[in-house]
Chains A and B, each alone.
Chain A
């Protein structure tokens, strides 16, 4: 399933401008520990997290994640979305908590 289809179905708010929206989503990884994401996420996964700082972009890039969904109405600063755009990684936000987003994505991707 492509990322833009997921964005539409979950009504995610896309914070980056027009990057990475065509990426094929292979699955989802839920974690707020960056070393855990580095060790255990898979290529093409969407990352669900409440972390909003700059390092999430570097981690997503290193693991070739298809995008980052930030939950609980938390928002990344401009510096973070600018780096994400430059690295072609989509950052999306939602007011939903991680459990709900993960649950919906699990249904969609099963």
Chain B
């Protein structure tokens, strides 16, 4: 499906750990960019959910992070690099319902253990790397038809 452009579009957002007031801002902005490009609604929804969940992981667990996106006529790539605690057992972290969120986060309705599974479910390519004590990098790609 042709986009309203043939250029590559890139951008990034800085995320501050613990700042719940910015939660959802990057996904809302990405959603607007994709809408203006004429991307199909289903793909916009998937990209928005994946991005929002990625943002929340940085806000909830990390000190800070950067979310970058690259949009080409073939693909939307979203990369999240954070400075955070890292993930010891990635397989466990990917299980639905598994969460290391503290109680105060769960009381907000976050920390249900659905973030990473939701990100993977909504992307066509998903890769997660992590070093305990340093941080986590998530790369996601959603193909454009």
**Chain A residues near B (Cβ < 8 Å):** 32-36, 38-39, 49, 51, 53-55, 58-59, 61-63
Counting CB contacts under 8 A, is B118 at the interface? yes
Are B108 and A59 in touch, CB under 8 angstroms?
no
For residue B25, which residue of chain A has the nearest CB? Answer: A58
Task: Give Cα A39 to B118, complex, Å.
Answer: 7
The size of the chain B interface, using a CB distance under 8 A, is 22
Contacts of A39 in B (CB 8 A): 49, 114, 118, 121
Which residues of chain B from 19 to 47 have any CB-CB distance to chain A below 8 Å in the complex?
Answer: 20-21, 23-25, 27-28, 31, 45
Which of A35, A61, A62 is within 8 Å of B114, CB to CB?
A: A35
**Chain B residues near A (Cβ < 8 Å):** 20-21, 23-25, 27-28, 31, 45, 48-49, 52-53, 56, 108-110, 112, 114-115, 118, 121
- 14 extra interface residue pairs, beta carbon distance < 8 Å, beyond A54-B21, A59-B24, A61-B28: A33-B110, A35-B53, A35-B110, A35-B118, A36-B114, A38-B53, A51-B109, A53-B20, A54-B23, A55-B20, A58-B23, A59-B52, A62-B31, A62-B52
Are A35 and B115 in touch, CB under 8 angstroms?
yes
Task: Give Cα A35 to B119, complex, Å.
Answer: 11
Contacts of A32 in B (CB 8 A): 109
Which of A36, A38, A53 is within 8 Å of B52, CB to CB?
A: A38
